Chain A
């Protein structure tokens, strides 16, 4: 397995607050890695640095590109990073609320459409062909998550669980190699969480993805992640196989406090 992404010594400083210090991560192709830690540990900040929402104060993020060489993507604008194959979902769902479900997904394909603005305005043949194909592809993606029958619904009218799914579909539509999922199961019941686990496994195989996910739901993390990274106060306090992490006293202390270790 080749190394797809390599983040080294990432630091994010907000004024006097060091949200993340010295974070390093290696993702091999096809891996499914979990990023866990208590609230405020800096998990989402790591995502924001990886996707360009924040430029890291220092450190590098090397991404292997199609030709096999790698380049530093730290500090690039988010849309450039997305176009290089890193897509994400948001913890606090950020759909385009007034747009329909399929239009939401189509935004992720905007950088892939083969017609330009003039061809679109003039309704030239490339426009028509591309739009028919686009719509079909979007419906196919939506079908995987069983929301294709709601393609014309306004996104904000979907139930909560389906909004979360739509976020994932949207990220998938940008044709990523690496998918970053920020608490995909937040607010779901155990049954839905179980289904979601299956789905994540399925799309990972189907689209040959490498997945990094943030999650609070331990059953989901332990169930599907091959490897875990634990953050606390912006530092990586442990990493390893799920079973090792579960028994690591430092991790238990971070989550449950000092007493739990001795109990």
Chain B
């Protein structure tokens, strides 16, 4: 059973975390709003982890993961709304559909040099959004199948997606029960993948493509494998999102969202699973904080400045300013500063010392003391 040691360890730590959080939820220490953010954080971690697999570990920058998320979310949404599938198959359906998309997109593009992939995935992310928006139009021109019309809801969005629980009041706790284990499984999947021959081959591709090929690694095959798994996990993130939020609209999956995942991965460290988990949770809370508080804080600040310069005047409409974009400005700065001063992010390619210590692969221990 030694080969399961790290797996079991992560599962145990994760189960412990789950029990603590679940207790906090049950005794209502964690309010519904915090729980909601936790769920979003979980989904963000999942999608960012999928991006880390292709960009951090395999070295192929992808900029369209919001698009993959959209494919997963809409597929699951449509399966639930139109086909009335049960939850689990609908969630898996979302992931698998996205994996298929990933494979189809990857086949023509992964043969190209790395920086082209960034643009092509960006382009696909946009196309997916435009395609969802104009689904009916495309059906009419391309497929000629009017019976699917209205499935995505177009620009008005896809609403009425049944939640994790029929009782809307307890949807967040129910969602948590699904999202938390899913993220744990994804972490295990990526970790075990990375610590196998296939994972080592992925990292070799990142380190030196020509050398990896000369060692017999099928460059295109490995990239496609990584990209497809990445798409699956990103799609799963979107799939989990659909019944959680209940309503989907195309602008929610724009380029800025893709960039948000890039920021999580870069901040956490490209090639560090722990880093992605920490940065994913941290940045989600930061973003939520800025989203809810920046407007008040910004206007308060403006008022303060105004009254210190022109005492007596009260705030007039002309001077109010919306500070919501502040988070985006911050994220832009984070990316620039990280790349210049600390390109490895928080964790570099390392994992948490504790888990590394406890989960040193058994074959290494053996080798150290022959």
Contact = CB atoms under 8 A, between A and B. Distances in A.
Q: Do A and B touch directly, given a CB cutoff of 8 Å in the complex?
A: yes
Contacts of B217: 79, 107, 110-111
A158 to B, nearest CB: 15
A129 to B, nearest CB: 9
A173 B4 CA distance: 27
B349 interface: yes
B197 A94 contact: no
B216 A117 contact: no
Nearest to A116: B198
B198 A98 contact: no
Contact of B366 (A109, A132, A134): A132
Nearest to A102: B367
B206 to A, nearest CB: 8
A12 B200 CA distance: 33
Contacts of A79: 213-219
Q: Would you call the interface of chain B mostly helix, strand, loop, or mixed?
A: helix
A173 B216 CA distance: 10
B28 interface: no
Nearest to A83: B216
Given A120-B198, A123-B3, A152-B364, A96 B208 contact: yes
Interface stretch (B75-83, B140-148, B188-196): B188-196
Nearest to B222: A110
Given A51-B214, A83-B216, A132-B366, A117 B204 contact: no
A113 B192 CA distance: 16
Contacts of A77: 213, 218-219
Contacts of B198: 110, 117, 120
B354 interface: no
Interface in A80-102: 82-83, 87-88, 90, 94-99, 102
Given A110-B201, A152-B368, A82 B214 contact: yes
A95 to B, nearest CB: 7
Q: Would you call the interface of chain A mostly helix, strand, loop, or mixed?
A: helix
Given A87-B214, A120-B193, A135 B201 contact: no
Contacts of B216: 79, 82-83, 108, 110-111, 174
B212 interface: yes
A127 B200 contact: no
A110 B225 CA distance: 15
A28 interface: no
A94 B200 contact: no
Given A117-B193, A117-B225, A53 B210 contact: yes
Given A103-B200, A106-B197, A110-B197, 8 more contacts: A78-B210, A78-B213, A82-B213, A107-B217, A117-B225, A121-B192, A135-B366, A152-B364
Interface of B: 2-4, 7, 189, 192-193, 196-201, 203-204, 207-208, 210-219, 225, 349, 363-364, 366-368
19 contacts: A51-B214, A52-B213, A79-B214, A79-B215, A79-B219, A82-B213, A82-B215, A87-B215, A94-B211, A97-B207, A99-B207, A102-B367, A107-B204, A115-B196, A121-B193, A131-B3, A132-B363, A135-B366, A135-B367
The 3 closest A-B pairs by CB, nearest first: A120-B196, A96-B207, A82-B216
